[in-house]
Amino acid sequence: MRLIIAEKPSLARAIAEALPAGVPGQDGALMAGDSVVTWCLGHLLEQAPPDAYDPSHKAWRLDTLPILPDRWKLVPRAKARAQLAVIRGLLKRADTVVHAGDPDREGQLLVQEVIEHLGWQGPVARLLVSDLNAPAVKRALSRLEDNARYAPLYRAAQARARADWLYGINLTRAWTLVGRQAGHDGVLSVGRVQTPVLGLVVRRDAEIRDFEPRPFFVLWADLVVARGRLRAWWVPGEGHSLDDQGRLLERAPAEALGGRLAGAEGRLARLETRDRRQAAPLPYSLSALQVDAARRHGLSAKAVLDICQRLYERHQLITYPRSDCRYLPEEHWAGARRTLEGACGEDATLRGWLAGADFAKRSKAWNDKKVGAHHALAPTGKRADLSRLSRQEADVFRLITRNVLAQFYPPLSTREVKAEFAIAGEVFRARGQEVLEAGWKPLFTTRDEAPPLPPLTEGEPCRVEEAGVEDRETRPPEPFTDASLIKAMMNIARYVEDPAIRRTLRDSDGLGTEATRAGILETLLERGYLAREGKALRATRLGDALIASLPEAVGRPERTALWEQRLSAIAEDGDAPAPFLDALVEDLRGLLGHADAERMRRALAGARGVEVPSRGRKAGGKARRQSAGRRTGGKTSPGGARRKRGSSS
């Protein structure tokens, strides 16, 4: 018997349906000829708790840190024991095993750790499926590879999991214990991803809090030209008091010039026009969808993830949602009309968009070279009855379908115009944009664009009809929201100064993964480190104090980049994991040396975040009532919440 072990039930079903002889099933497996297809449920195993290595580690004590396992152990997750037993029984009957985890680092780990944990010694083949479409799965089944080829990928994922355990367990215990000494009787969770995310919010809040508005002044002039009117803005030159962005810091020069502009004549000294064609936004990855759904519908990142899971599992209307890819397999293009006709159903909005689609067009969204473990979110083609969905489910489904439909619309074509006028010896500028062809744009907004400039000819005369001075102030940055924080996690390189590290972060997936970002935000909220103020996410006093008490490097994203460099070298160049883990242990020893009760006491006293809301207060109250010294620290991941695949919070 050939046993195929898939990463998840949906992949197992797709594999079984691509095999001959149908799919009569049994509990935990699907039969297909001489093959049996079974599955994992995310991670069936997790890192053993500290007391599994030494019972004395059940008590949290500073003098036992760092905890460094000599021989790493995995234990079954509580809800996975039944499925693990199914796989164990099937392995006893198997002649060969096929590893069908996702074709990425975490997918390699997830299935292989089960195969090794259950003691399988026979041959293992590797099945790489990136598209659940039946023809694509059949092709993948026809070109199985030797799983040994992917050993470096497995070693890299295993090293990441162990490093996260070392980092989270040791720092969480250390800061919890010094927190107790400083008067905070609760768990202070520290993680490689969650803590830098908290650091982003703490630093943004400090920027807002410490911001000092500065006044500046602008002078406008309404001009009459040959074929219409427009508003232009004075560009003050050298000799005036300007800030680093060229803004005028004194009102008097603007008033003086404005007083002599009425009726003044000038000419259009310089005219620039540029035609631009902009392709439609690509289909969504999960994070990109979370950003848009937060902006358009006010949905939290977790709400979007939960909605997508329902659309995928319960309603079967969309493809696998936890994807970091924004491209689709090339073979999907031929069936796109049928898929989208089913997706649009009888919904008036979607049918209206469908009517404008030209299915002869082929955008850059269909690109096999850009498709990795998963492809972009897309409708499955199942007939959609949006009246049976909740309002929020329908909103999210429309967004997903719209972005695929938009690939069959023409580009947005615009003409950008920049005009520079010479009046009274000074320079005035105006800008405008004319839409030449709306293309895909009406699917995304119904707002009217700013009016274009009237037709202009370089050298033509102009006359000032009216002028005025406006008093303005510089503004602080906006507080983070679900949308902007998810976007910051996706594009974390923007928050790093070192060019080499910035390049690494641009090449990696940023902070967290598609599967974990929403969970990281919810974890920070549940633990009372963040709080919602309307749509804004603000650091609480506890979150502010935690970042202030930690070494600066722990609350910044650079460590993620450095880890990714080392893990990529393990996965791609075959480097040994041991030097990476040895370096981490040395780093940990240095960080643990900064665990100081007095520093924590000052941080708690000086914290300036917002008050913990009732939700966070409830969680924090429970933590405060439990003595940190009595917590096992091992039944959960470092910091308390169980983690799904790929999490390093």
Q: Which residues are catalytic?
A: 320
Euclidean distance between CA atoms 196 and 550, whole angstroms: 11
Q: Which two tokens stand for residue 534?
A: 């309307």
CB atoms within 10 A of CB 563: 21
Residue 481 burial (10 A CB sphere; 0-12, 13-18, 19+):
buried
**CA 163 distance to own-chain centroid:** 22
Euclidean distance between CA atoms 309 and 393, whole angstroms: 10
3-state secondary structure 195-255: HHHHHHHHHHHHHHHHCCCCEEEEEEEEEEECCEEEEEEECCCCCCCECCCCCECCHHHHH
99: which residues sit within 8 A by CB, 6+ positions away?
5, 108, 111, 112, 115, 124, 125, 126, 127, 147, 150
Question: What secondary structure does DSSP assign to 93-161, as a single string?
Answer: H-SEEEEE--SSHHHHHHHHHHHHHTT--S-EEE---S--SHHHHHHHHTT-EEGGGGHHHHHHHHHHH
Question: What length is written for the chain?
Answer: 649
Q: Which long-range contacts (CB under 8 A, 24 or more apart) does 117-122 make?
A: 117/45, 117/74, 118/84, 118/87, 118/88, 118/91, 120/91, 120/94, 122/94, 122/95, 122/96, 122/97
163-184 exposure pattern, b = at least 16 Cβ within 10 A, e = fewer: bbbbbbbbbbbbbbbbbbebeb
For 440, phi then psi, to 5°, come to: -80, -10
Contact criterion met (CB below 8 Å) for 72 and 162: yes
**C-alpha dist (Å) from residue 342 to 282, 347, 380, 405, 444:** 20, 11, 8, 12, 21
Place of tokens 């000092």: 212
Q: Which two tokens stand for residue 509?
A: 């997936």
State the DSSP code for 611: P
The C-alpha R_g of the chain, in whole angstroms, comes to 29
CA dihedral 569, 572, 575, 580 (to 10 degrees): 40
Q: 276, 275, 270, 274: which is closest to 235 by C-alpha? A: 270
Q: 206, 178, 172: which is closest to 609 by C-alpha? A: 206
Strands (E), 372-519: 412-423, 426-437, 461-473
